[in-house]
């Protein structure tokens, strides 16, 4: 019966998937709880159905014949039924909570694991604020819906139908009123349910927007204050929040129709029962206690339908949220990595990275970000990448560890197309330092061990020395065990950049990518970092993306990008003579003639 009821709910969805299909996987571990919770609720409902019959006998027999002993025995029976019902209710609540929380926990784990498997393109398409909302608010709504469903969705219809059946056992003519009232009430309840379901999806969508604006403002609060844009951002937030509020009020007003309409129908039915009962009492075919029992059953129907109405609202919201969660789970990464053993970097391969007529166009973009790029970086070389803002520097280096796939052309790592590399082997061979330095809560040691979990303290200090971070780490009271707050906010921008560089060096990669990761360093520290990298043993290939010409002028090869095209490739001296774009960048940072 439980599965049939879930299927009934799922059939109301426009999409082909049902809520049963979505949560069945997570409820498999809680089969016992999923069965016992509604079972004990049904037992509670069964005992509740006996109460009006006992009350009718008390009125008809005990009070009518003034039998005090009968009244006391009946009251004792009512007390026993109440205690048993309470016990059944507590047990049902316990099992329902276990199943619902377990279901939400499994769903949240799978959702987080799936998000970790998505590539950058899929993440860009979905948006971080939406993913956060779906992992928190949406999963919580599903949890509440499952909890209420297990406790009430069988209990409420059972009491409604049971009350109708019990009414027939008391008086057939009066029971006809129940047969008329119940379908009208069901039409109201389910009509409002179908009306509100798409509106709840709109509410969650607008909640995503509000969360996105909030997240953007919190992360960019310093920029907002620097440009004195507080009022503009407040206005934007108020507009988005007003749209969310208006939608919530609209759906709330529709849902608010549920109670008055159901109360109206039930009260009209009570009036009809009283009218019919009064006539039959006068005729002697009905007793006063029977009328009280009928009214009690009608009251039970009212209470249960109000519960059912609230349940339907919650389930409607849960269905809308489950659709949104499933949409993320259905989102498949566009990249496929081959399975296989670790790939050993060939010692005799002279070319570390080769681009052969590579083009890149992001999903939804109007034009290509990179166009027809061809170059080759040899092992042990330092490659500089320079160009104006938006010229495609980060896009170029993001193709090397395969954060994105080239639209056309071939990117090869050590003579092998990047698509043929297993994911772990590829990322183990390449160390990447992103534009935005990102540290995680923990300690300096725990952040550095991301590069290599088996690294010794000596390895960590060597990486810190090379990254020019050893001095300030030693100055900390706890050294490597110095706490790192969320996002590394207890470190300066330059310190965070140097720690992220050290984290990449700990893994001893064959290719190191520094994507404008020294922008917060002064010129002296930047120069010391470059000298330390050049002095490292082995033949590590280093890509340095920078806006500073001084950071790249000693590179073996400099790639000059302009609007996604490679307009220059060569050494510093060669580019000053042959590349107009590079010469303009250099002269904008240095006086003509090379003077600072």
CA–CA–CA angle 487, 491, 494 (5° rounding): 105
Average pLDDT over residues 555-582: 91
Rounded CA separation 118/116 (Å): 6
CATH assignment at residue 243: 1.20.1560.10
Q: Which of 299, 329, 359 is the last residue of a domain?
A: 329
Range of the domain at 259: 18-329
What pLDDT score was predicted for residue 95? 93
For residue 503, pLDDT over 90 is answered with yes
85-122: pLDDT as tens digits? 899 999 999 999 999 999 999 989 989 998 888 888 88
Mean of the per-residue pLDDT values of the chain: 84
What pLDDT score was predicted for residue 283? 66
Residues 461 and 319 grouped into a single domain: no
What pLDDT score was predicted for residue 347? 54
State the DSSP code for 419.
G
For residue 277, pLDDT over 80 is answered with no
Q: Which residue has the higher pLDDT, 373 or 305?
A: 373
What pLDDT score was predicted for residue 516? 85
Backbone angles phi, psi at 186, to 5 degrees: -65, -40
- Cβ neighbours of 369 (radius 10 Å): 20
Choice among 54-63, 249-258, 381-390 with the minimum mean pLDDT: 54-63
Residue 9 lies in a domain: no
On whether the CB atoms of residues 163 and 300 are closer than 8 A, the answer is: yes
CA–CA–CA angle 37, 41, 43 (5° rounding): 120
Q: Do you know the residue count of the chain?
A: 596
Residue 251 lies in a domain: yes
Domain tally, the chain: 2
Tokens 């010409």 label which residue? 549
Residues 64 and 178 grouped into a single domain: yes
Give me Rg for the CA atoms of the chain: 35
Residue 340 lies in a domain: no
Q: Which two tokens stand for residue 519?
A: 């922008």
For residue 384, pLDDT over 70 is answered with yes
Choice among 255-269, 466-480, 557-571 with the minimum mean pLDDT: 255-269
For residue 166, pLDDT over 90 is answered with no
Tokens 């939608």 label which residue? 247
Query: 375 has which bridge partners?
Result: 355
Residue 11 lies in a domain: no
What pLDDT score was predicted for residue 323? 82
Contacts of residue 201, Cβ cutoff 8 Å, sequence gap at least 6: 320, 323, 324
524-545: pLDDT as tens digits? 888 898 889 888 887 889 999 9
Q: Which residue has the higher pLDDT, 364 or 439?
A: 439
Residue 594 lies in a domain: no
Residues 357 and 322 grouped into a single domain: no
DSSP-based three-state secondary structure for 492: coil
Average pLDDT over residues 374-393: 90
What pLDDT score was predicted for residue 342? 59
What pLDDT score was predicted for residue 348? 55
Residues 83 and 220 grouped into a single domain: yes
Residues 361 and 313 grouped into a single domain: no
Residues 366 and 316 grouped into a single domain: no
Q: Which two tokens stand for residue 60?
A: 């008809």
Residues 431 and 541 grouped into a single domain: yes
Give the 3-state secondary structure of 544-594: EECCCCCCCCCCCEEEEEECCEEEEEECHHHHHHHCHHHHHHHHHHCCCCC
Rounded CA separation 453/447 (Å): 10
Residues 371 and 325 grouped into a single domain: no
Q: Which two tokens stand for residue 295?
A: 């009214």
Residues 27 and 171 grouped into a single domain: yes
Residues 455 and 548 grouped into a single domain: yes
Q: How would residue 357 be classed by pLDDT, with cut points 50, 70 and 90? A: very high
Rounded CA separation 498/504 (Å): 10
Rounded CA separation 76/250 (Å): 49
Tokens 């009244």 label which residue? 71
What pLDDT score was predicted for residue 543? 93
Residues 449 and 570 grouped into a single domain: yes
On whether the CB atoms of residues 286 and 280 are closer than 8 A, the answer is: yes
DSSP-based three-state secondary structure for 58: helix
CATH assignment at residue 374: 3.40.50.300
Alpha helix ranges (H) inside 58-154 = 68-117, 120-126, 128-133, 139-152
Q: How would residue 246 be classed by pLDDT, with cut points 50, 70 and 90? A: very high
Residues 276 and 310 grouped into a single domain: yes
Rounded CA separation 357/374 (Å): 5
């Amino acid at each position: 019966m439980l599965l049939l009821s879930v299927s009934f709910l799922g059939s109301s969805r426009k999409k082909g998937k049902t809520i049963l299909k979505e949560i069945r996987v997570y409820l498999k571990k809680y089969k016992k709880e999923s069965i016992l919770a509604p079972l004990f609720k049904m037992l509670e409902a069964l005992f509740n159905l006996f109460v009006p019959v006992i009350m009718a006998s008390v009125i008809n027999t005990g009070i009518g014949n003034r039998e005090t002993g009968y009244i006391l025995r009946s009251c004792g029976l009512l007390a026993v039924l109440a205690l048993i019902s309470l016990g059944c209710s507590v047990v049902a609540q316990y099992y329902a909570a276990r199943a619902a929380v377990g279901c939400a926990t499994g769903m949240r784990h799978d959702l987080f694991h799936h998000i970790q498997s998505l590539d950058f393109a899929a993440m860009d398409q979905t948006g971080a604020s939406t993913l956060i909302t779906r992992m928190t608010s949406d999963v919580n709504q599903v949890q509440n819906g499952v909890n209420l469903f297990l406790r009430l969705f069988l209990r409420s219809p059972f009491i409604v139908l049971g009350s109708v059946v019990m009414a027939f056992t008391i008086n057939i003519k009066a029971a006809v009123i129940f047969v008329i009232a119940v379908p009208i009430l069901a039409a109201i309840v389910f009509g409002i349910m179908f009306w509100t379901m798409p509106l709840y999806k709109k509410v969650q969508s607008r909640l995503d927007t509000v969360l996105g604006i909030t997240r953007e403002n919190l992360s960019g609060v310093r920029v907002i204050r620097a440009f004195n844009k507080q009022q503009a951002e407040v206005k934007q937030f108020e507009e988005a929040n007003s749209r969310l509020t208006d939608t919530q009020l609209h759906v709330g007003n529709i849902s608010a129709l549920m109670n008055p309409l159901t109360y109206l129908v039930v009260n009209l039915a009570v009036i009809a029962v009283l009218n019919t009962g009064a006539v039959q009492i006068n005729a002697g075919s009905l007793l006063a206690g029977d009328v009280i029992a009928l009214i009690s059953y009608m009251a039970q129907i009212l209470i249960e339908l109000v519960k059912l109405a609230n349940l339907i609202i919650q389930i409607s919201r849960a269905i809308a949220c489950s659709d949104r969660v499933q949409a993320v789970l259905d989102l498949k990464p566009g990249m496929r990595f081959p399975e296989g053993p670790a790939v050993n970097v060939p010692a005799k391969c002279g070319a570390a990275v080769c681009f052969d007529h590579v083009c890149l166009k992001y999903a939804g973009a109007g034009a290509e970000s990179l166009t027809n790029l061809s170059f080759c970086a040899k092992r042990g070389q330092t490659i500089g990448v320079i160009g104006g803002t938006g010229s495609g520097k980060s896009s170029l280096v993001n193709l090397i560890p395969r954060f994105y796939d080239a639209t056309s052309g071939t990117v090869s790592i050590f003579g092998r197309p990047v698509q043929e590399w297993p994911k772990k082997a590829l990322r183990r061979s390449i160390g990447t330092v992103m534009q935005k330095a990102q540290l995680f809560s923990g300690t300096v040691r725990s952040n550095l061990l991301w590069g290599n979990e088996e690294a010794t303290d000596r390895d960590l200090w060597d990486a810190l020395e090379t990254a020019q971070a050893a001095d300030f780490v030693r100055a900390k009271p706890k050294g490597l065990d110095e706490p790192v707050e969320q996002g590394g906010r207890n470190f300066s921008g330059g310190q965070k950049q140097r720690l992220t560089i050290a984290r990449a060096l700990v893994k001893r990669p064959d290719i190191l990518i520094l994507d404008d990761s020294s922008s917060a360093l002064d010129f002296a520290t930047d120069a010391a970092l470059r000298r330390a990298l050049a002095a490292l043993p082995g033949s590590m290939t280093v890509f340095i993306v920078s806006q500073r010409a001084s950071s790249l002028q000693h590179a073996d090869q400099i790639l000059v990008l302009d609007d996604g095209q490679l307009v220059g490739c060569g050494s510093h001296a060669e580019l000053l003579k042959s590349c107009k774009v590079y010469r303009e960048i250099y002269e904008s940072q240095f006086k003509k003639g090379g003077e600072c």
